[in-house]
């Protein structure tokens, strides 16, 4: 057995080795298997109009093939390794793969060319995406010629104000704009950002909860009406599914990560994988974890050693929140049970190594929460807050358990942790059900199908507008 796996590693799958190297290297760039960390995700569902789920992949042509030879302009508020831009980049590559002509504009560039921007721009150029300057006649010309313009995130509305020649053409552009929104934060509800929203061809939002929130808030706060809105849940990339479904690769990654964390193969790992910030609820998770340890002690349960893993730490940011987390761990003397891991885009090794994912986003929750479907692909049960997109992904009692947001959630989460630690069968069954759910509705081809339906609707609308 051991011999088999050694031979296997030596001979195959360069990506696996790449992963192992990545684990010991601190720079993040190289891979983006996934559209990271911050807010949302995508996968399509249409509010009002249901789009049928996708046909299986295999040899069937891409649902986006009607986009061949079309010209699409993608407008990103920034170029970074956060969820929004990476998602838009995925769309760029999906479109390139069917022969769409794709142009890209980044609104907010850092004053200097940093490593991340450089590497991402090159990645796009390699795949045939034209990267344009955020101002100037060229961008305006492309915008006027384009069949479709995708604005990514609420802030991208600023683009139309950047350039005088663009500004005077706004009325011509709006009917072919699709606005992709991934956030649920109050400060986006400013007319400055979204005043053109009612006039665009459509908006695409990552979860039903978020779409409802936007409809309500634009009406109540701004007195404007959302355009036709399409809900598009996100899907897992093929690369991620490939790792998730490769038992040998998973075992190797699991052993490697556990060794690097200093935990044994029989120990139980509960992980939260999000950039460390109050909104993501790492503080409350650690409180729950501590409480679960006490419950286990009180009830004298005989369980494997339990650990909490916090992936997404960034000590260079020197945030008060990050210090708070570390102080809590010290104060409670659970340093041997809590492991902090630096922020990374390469989440697959951690998903392979852990037993349960905790999704503890607070307030209105995740807009979608891509890490949730990624964990389910790895057959992990999810303990998630009953908020936002998580409620559209996790089936309470079947693929995991939901707990309330806020302090009221601390004890329920602690109990859910003990529940899954105690019932091995339940944990494994929930993981399998989660995987089945992903296969049914959260794969790349599902997302591509749903996006295709949206793009078709938007193209049609803009055409009827220009014919009129
Ligand atoms: C994590 O980040 C800190 C601060 O940026 C750095 O000092 C440390 O070496 C990193 N750890 C690993 C394992 O890369
Ligand atoms: C809509 O917004 C108002 C105030 O902004 C709030 O009181 C109400 O509960 C919201 N309704 C829904 C369905 O979210
Ligand atoms: C989730 O299910 C459990 C039982 O399976 C139930 O006790 C709990 O109230 C449910 N939570 C929510 C938010 O529906």
Q: Out of 79-88, 233-242, 254-263, 389-398, which region has the weakest mean confidence (pLDDT)?
A: 79-88
Is there a domain that residue 192 lies in?
yes
Residues 105 and 195 in one domain: yes
CA of 402 to the centre of ligand 3 (A): 7
Among 348, 408, 405, 413, which Cα is nearest to 382's? 413
Residues 409 and 453 in one domain: no
> CATH number, domain at 318?
3.40.50.2000
Instruction: Kindly state the tokens that stand for 323.
Output: 């210090």
In angstroms, rounded to a whole number, what is the distance separating the alpha carbons of residues 311 and 339? Answer: 8
Number of domains in the chain: 2
Residues 316 and 396 in one domain: yes
Is there a domain that residue 32 lies in?
no
CA of 401 to the centre of ligand 3 (A): 7
* Number of neighbours of residue 50 by Cβ within 10 angstroms: 11
pLDDT at 14: 55
Which residue from 23, 26, 317 has its CB within 8 A of the most atoms of ligand 1, so it is best to mutate?
Answer: 26
Query: Could you tell me the pLDDT band of residue 9, with boundaries at 50, 70 and 90?
Result: very low
CA of 143 to the centre of ligand 2 (A): 36
Residues 219 and 246 in one domain: no
Query: Could you tell me the pLDDT band of residue 8, with boundaries at 50, 70 and 90?
Result: very low
Residues 360 and 450 in one domain: no
CB-facing half-sphere around the CA of 67: CA atoms within 13 A: 34
Per-residue pLDDT for 34 more than 60? no
Which residue range(s) make up the domain with 320?
Answer: 8-23+236-442
Is there a domain that residue 318 lies in?
yes
Per-residue pLDDT for 268 more than 50? yes
CA of 157 to the centre of ligand 2 (A): 24
Residues 383 and 330 in one domain: yes
Residues 375 and 455 in one domain: no
Per-residue pLDDT for 41 more than 50? no
* In contact, 281 and 362? CB cutoff 8 Å: yes
- Express each pLDDT in 340-356 by its tens digit: 999 888 899 999 999 99
Residues 179 and 105 in one domain: yes
Is there a domain that residue 1 lies in?
no
Is there a domain that residue 158 lies in?
yes
Question: For residue 217, which ligand has an atom nearest its CA?
Answer: 2
What order do you get walking across the sheet with 306-313 strand by strand?
338-342, 306-313, 268-273, 356-359, 382-385, 400-403
Q: Stretch 438-445: mean pLDDT, rounded?
A: 96
Is there a domain that residue 250 lies in?
yes
Residues 210 and 141 in one domain: yes
pLDDT at 391: 97
- Express each pLDDT in 72-122 by its tens digit: 999 999 888 778 899 999 999 999 999 999 999 999 877 777 888 889 999
Residues 255 and 181 in one domain: no
Is there a domain that residue 338 lies in?
yes
Mean of the per-residue pLDDT values for the chain? 87
Is there a domain that residue 3 lies in?
no
Q: Stretch 131-137: mean pLDDT, rounded?
A: 85
- Express each pLDDT in 209-230 by its tens digit: 999 999 999 999 899 999 999 9
Verify whether ligand 2 is closer than 6 Å to residue 126 (CB atom). Answer: no
Query: Could you tell me the pLDDT band of residue 250, with boundaries at 50, 70 and 90?
Result: very high
Distances 63 to 81, 95, 103, 142, 387 between C-alpha atoms, Å: 27, 10, 21, 25, 31
Per-residue pLDDT for 43 more than 60? no
Q: Stretch 18-22: mean pLDDT, rounded?
A: 57
Verify whether ligand 1 is closer than 6 Å to residue 316 (CB atom). Answer: yes
Per-residue pLDDT for 146 more than 50? yes
Residues 230 and 280 in one domain: no
- Express each pLDDT in 277-327 by its tens digit: 999 999 999 999 999 999 999 999 999 999 999 999 988 888 899 999 999
Which residue from 401, 412, 413, 416 has its CB within 8 A of the most atoms of ligand 3, so it is best to mutate?
Answer: 401
Q: Stretch 133-137: mean pLDDT, rounded?
A: 82
Q: Which residue has the tokens 């061809």?
A: 201
Residues 462 and 451 in one domain: yes
Per-residue pLDDT for 50 more than 50? no
Q: Out of 38-42, 53-57, 241-245, 246-250, which region has the weakest mean confidence (pLDDT)?
A: 38-42
């Amino acid at each position: 057995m051991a011999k088999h796996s050694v031979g296997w590693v030596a001979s195959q799958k360069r990506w696996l080795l790449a992963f192992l190297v990545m684990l010991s290297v601190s720079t993040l760039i190289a891979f983006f298997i996934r559209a990271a960390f911050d807010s949302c995700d995508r996968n399509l569902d249409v509010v009002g109009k249901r789009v049928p789920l996708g046909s299986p992949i295999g040899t069937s042509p891409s649902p986006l093939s009607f986009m061949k030879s079309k010209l699409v302009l993608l407008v990103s508020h920034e170029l970074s390794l956060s969820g929004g831009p990476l998602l838009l980049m995925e769309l760029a590559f999906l479109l390139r793969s069917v022969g769409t002509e794709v142009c890209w504009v980044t609104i907010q560039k850092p004053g200097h060319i940093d490593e991340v921007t450089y590497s991402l721009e090159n990645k796009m150029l390699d795949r045939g995406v034209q990267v344009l300057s955020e101002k100037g006649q060229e961008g305006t010309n492309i915008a006027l010629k384009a069949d479709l313009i995708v604005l990514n995130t609420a802030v991208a509305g600023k683009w139309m104000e950047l350039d005088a020649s663009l500004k005077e053409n706004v009325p011509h552009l709006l009917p072919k704009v699709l606005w992709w929104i991934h956030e649920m934060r109050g400060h986006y509800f400013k007319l400055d950002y979204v005043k053109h929203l009612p006039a665009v061809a459509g908006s695409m939002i990552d979860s039903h909860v978020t779409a409802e929130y936007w409809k309500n808030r634009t009406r109540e706060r701004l007195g404007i009406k959302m355009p036709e809105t399409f809900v598009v849940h996100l899907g897992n990339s093929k690369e991620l599914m490939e790792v998730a479904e490769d038992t040998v690769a998973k075992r190797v990654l699991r052993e490697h990560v556990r060794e690097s964390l200093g935990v044994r193969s029989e120990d139980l790992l509960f992980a939260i994988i999000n950039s460390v910030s109050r909104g993501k609820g790492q503080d409350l998770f650690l409180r729950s974890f501590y409480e679960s340890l006490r419950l286990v002690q009180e009830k004298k349960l005989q369980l494997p050693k339990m650990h909490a893993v916090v992936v997404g730490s960034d000590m260079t940011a020197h945030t008060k929140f990050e210090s708070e987390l570390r102080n809590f761990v010290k104060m409670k003397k659970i340093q041997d049970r809590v492991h902090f891991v630096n922020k990374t885009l390469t989440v697959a090794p951690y998903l392979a190594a852990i037993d349960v994912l905790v999704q503890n986003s607070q307030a209105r929750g995740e807009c979608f929460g891509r890490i949730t479907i990624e964990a389910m692909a790895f057959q992990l049960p999810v303990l998630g807050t009953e908020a936002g997109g998580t409620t559209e992904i996790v089936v309470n009692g079947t693929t995991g358990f939901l707990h309330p947001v806020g302090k009221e959630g601390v004890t329920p989460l602690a109990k859910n942790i003990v529940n899954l630690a105690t019932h091995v069968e339940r944990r494994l069954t929930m993981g399998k059900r989660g995987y089945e759910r992903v296969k049914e509705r959260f794969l790349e081809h599902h997302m591509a199908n749903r996006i295709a339906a949206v793009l078709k609707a938007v193209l049609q609308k803009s055409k009827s507008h220009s014919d009129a």
